[in-house]
Structure 1
Amino acid sequence: MADALVACEQFGTVLEALLEAGYNAFSCDIEPAQHRHKNRHITDDVRNHLDAGWDLLVVAHPPCTRNCRSGRRWLSGPGKMTPPKKLPKGRTWESLIEEFEAGVELFSACWNAPVPHIAVENPEMHDLAKDRMPDDLPKPQIVQPHQFGHPEFKATGLYLKNLPSLVPTNQLKVPEKGSDEWKAWNRVHRLPPGPERSIERSRFFPGIAQAMANQWKPITEGTAQRIVA
């Protein structure tokens, strides 16, 4: 049985899929668990638990506000890493840089963890973030929820180490652009500003989680068996 850690997850979608597939899995987040497997949740900074002998590390949704392409505009002054003409309301340049550095450090720590198989979910990064990433970081596999049975659009980047790209399991027919159905599929992108927006945008899709658990199980279990032997 392979041991798996799901980092930066409090809602348990990936954890549930891994447990159903037969992993000895735990979740870890600085926030308490919001799922039913409370005894399998570690409330702590995941960096304190990366060297515990895991076979698989899945980083479900690390902070990425300043590192993804949509966050580039706030670091868009002349040259590189200089203040933009206008800052977000109520924010300082120093706080933006702090968030950027925190995102880079967490991503790098997880990617460089002593774990044989690693998957980090993160949107495609802007140039400033890419400049700070580990040299062996590949381009992400971009998947969509509708490839795994969910009628929604939300490009999800998967940075994979010693893991194969996911194969779609239930491709839905994409509706005509501009139609009412197409607009409904864009639910995540059309969410209004508010305290629930970031939570909803960070929720993982069960179909993708199930594909991860089932398609990667033979590889991660093979590693676990070789280590035991």
Structure 2
Amino acid sequence: MADTLRVLIACETSGIARRAFAALGHDVWSCDLEPAEDGSNRHIRCDVRGGILEWGWDLLAVMHPPCTRLCRSGRQWMSGPGIWTPPKRLPKGRTLADLRAEFETGVDVFTTCWRAPIARVAIENPEMNDLARARMPDDLPAPQIVQPFWFGEPAYKKTGWYLRGLPPLAATDRLPEPERGSEEWKRWNAVHRMPPGPDRARLRSRSFPGMMAAAAEQWGGWAAEEAVA
């Protein structure tokens, strides 16, 4: 049985997802504009839209595409009430042209990856605002929303997966939730309570190893079995 897949982990520098698939023997590479934090020689510095999607992959997992302007929380900066009306305010030091450019980049990266010539695609992204949703492909499903504590990670962080050719993730080690307002509950909310700083966005977007181990086992195993069915 041929159970090794060619896997591309796009928009990731931490190596967490790459290592999870590699641990199961897959031929896996990551790519991002920035270098890999772990210095891996299986990381390619490039724009995912630059041709790498054509290299004959079996599975594409897009971990942290630019989503700040696509998610619901980012809508307030893009438009006021209605569709593309002037926003009430802008982030300090930013122009509306800057934000629209970031929006267009986010849309282009997402749609390019979704339409990639790859049979199995998983794109991590929050639930989108109406402006972004209007620009998405017609066949884009609603995201599967999962939480890190479904996979043994004591943390809250809603994670949306847009899936094509892959099954929804199943919980592997669901932890009991702490009492709301308790010290443990506050620790579980560390991602949301993270103070401002130059590394805040990068740290908030990091994958959870437990979730990535489940993804590698479930999606990798399912895809390998399907490939030889």
Q: TM-score range, shorter-chain basis?
A: over 0.9
Distance in 1, matches of 2:221 and 2:186, equals: 38
**Higher helix residue share:** 1
Name the SS of the counterpart of 1:128 in structure 2: helix
Distance in 2, matches of 1:65 and 1:93, equals: 14
Shift of 1:215: 0.7
* Equivalence map 1:25-174=2 (5 Å): 25-36=28-39, 38-48=40-50, 49-174=52-177
Amino acid at match of 2:79: S
Mean alpha-carbon deviation: is it higher for 211-220 or for 56-65?
211-220
Name the SS of the counterpart of 2:41 in structure 1: helix
Of all paired residues, the percent bearing the same amino acid is 56
Match of 2:206 in 1: 203
1:5/1:54 contact within 8 Å kept: yes
Match of 2:178 in 1: 175
Shift of 1:224: 4.6
Q: How many residue pairs get matched? A: 225
Shift of 1:78: 4.2
Match of 2:222 in 1: 219
Distance in 2, matches of 1:46 and 1:96, equals: 21
Asked if 1:192 corresponds to 2:195, the answer is yes
Name the SS of the counterpart of 1:119 in structure 2: strand
Name the SS of the counterpart of 2:67 in structure 1: coil
1:74/1:83 contact within 8 Å kept: no
Would the alpha carbon gap of residues 141 and 223 (structure 1) be closer, same or farther in structure 2, given more than 3 Å must change?
Answer: same
Amino acid at match of 1:93: L
Any unmatched runs of 5+ in structure 2? Answer: none
Shift of 1:218: 2.6
Amino acid at match of 2:200: R
Amino acid at match of 1:201: R
Distance in 2, matches of 1:219 and 1:179, equals: 39
Amino acid at match of 1:18: F
Name the SS of the counterpart of 1:188 in structure 2: coil
